[in-house]
Structures are given as structure tokens and as C-alpha cells.
Amino acid sequence: MKLRVLSNQAKEAICAEFPKYPTKRSVLLPALWIAQDECGYLSEPAMMDIADLLDLTPVQVYDVATFYYMYHLKPVGKFHIQVCKTLSCGLVGANALIAYIQKRLEIRVGETTQDGLFSLKLVECLAACGSGPMMQINEDYYEHLTNQKVDQILDDLKRLGRSNLATSRFRLPMAI
């Protein structure tokens, strides 16, 4: 079988999931993660590759990929910013923070900066309600946010590709 866009490495990673489950279809969510990690988003050819590997039809793959919001069907920024807007964060300043990030990046929610570095999205509860307002950028959580912290995080990411303001092991309440 010839793969359209996925690498052999991705194929191997997907096949390594098979022994964990009694059906091939159960590997669909892991396979979508592997493809997204490799390509940055889930293109139609990538989903067709997954369909072939899992003995599914392309539409079965598409059906599932469109249900879960963390799967990107279009490319996103190198740093994908997701700000929590649900009640607990809203009570401690999420809306003002969202307004600030939009102004600072000169984009609106749902857009990507022209250099392709940052995309901005609002999301529902990320289970960090005691340390809001908060956001997730790629794999990392950033909590207890202020405008100053946002400035530093965005600068760090632009310059270094990482920021040590990301939360390490989570524990609440923070030591006083």
C-alpha cells in the first residue's frame, strides 16, 4: 500500500497501537493524533491514509475527525493559542485577557498572524478553573495570567520557541 502523505514512521507508530485494542477502528483517535503531530493538521490525503491503514472508509475517518475539536482540519499557527472562556475563568478576567491578546497580536479570534506564528482560538473549560485566567499554547498550560505575563510568553515563544512561564506539575492551592 502506498501512503499519500504520511511517512513510514507515522505508519509504524500507528501500527504499534494495534496490539492495545481488539479492533483496528479503536486506533482511529491515536492515528489522528499521530497524523496531526506529523503534518500539523489533518488533510484529506492524510485521513485517506489512515482509512487505508485501519480498513475504514475515508468518510468514517472524516466523521470522527470532525467531532473532536482538537483535530485541526486546516493549518493553525506554529503556536496555537487557546484561551479558556468558561465561567470560572470568565469570573476572574478571561474576557479582558482575550481582548488584550487580540490587540497585542492584531488578530481576531479564529485568525492567524501573517507570519504564521500565532493563531488564536477560544475554548471551553480546560480544567484549570482555580488558576484562571488561563490558556493553552500547543501542549502547555499557562495560568494565573496577566497582560504582562502574556507579553512575556509571546516574546519568549517568538524568540526562543518556548517559555518557562508554562506550568510544570500542577498543584493547588499554590503555596502562600
Which residues of this protein are in contact with another protein, per CB under 8 A?
20-23, 25-30, 32-33, 54, 63-64, 67-71, 85-88, 90-92, 95-96, 98-99, 108-110, 122-132, 136, 139-141, 167, 169-174, 176
CB of 117 to another protein, least distance (A): 20
Going by their DSSP bridges, the two strands 140-142 and 118-123 should be labelled as unpaired
Which amino acid is located at 149 in the chain?
K
Nearer to another protein, 2 or 19 (CB): 19
CB of 45 to another protein, least distance (A): 20
- For residue 145, the number of C-alpha atoms closer than 13 Å in the C-beta half-sphere is 31
The string of DSSP codes covering 50-84 is: HHHHHT--HHHHHHHHTTSTTS-SS---SEEEEEE
> Least CB distance from residue 93 to another protein, whole Å?
10
Q: How far is CA 95 from CA 11, 20, 56, in A?
A: 42, 42, 42
Which residue, 26 or 147, has its beta carbon nearer to another protein?
A: 26
Closer Cβ to another protein, 88 or 152, answer by number: 88
Half-sphere exposure of 95 (CA within 13 A, CB side): 3
CB of 22 to another protein, least distance (A): 6
Nearer to another protein, 12 or 69 (CB): 69
98: enclosing H helix or E strand:
helix 94-105
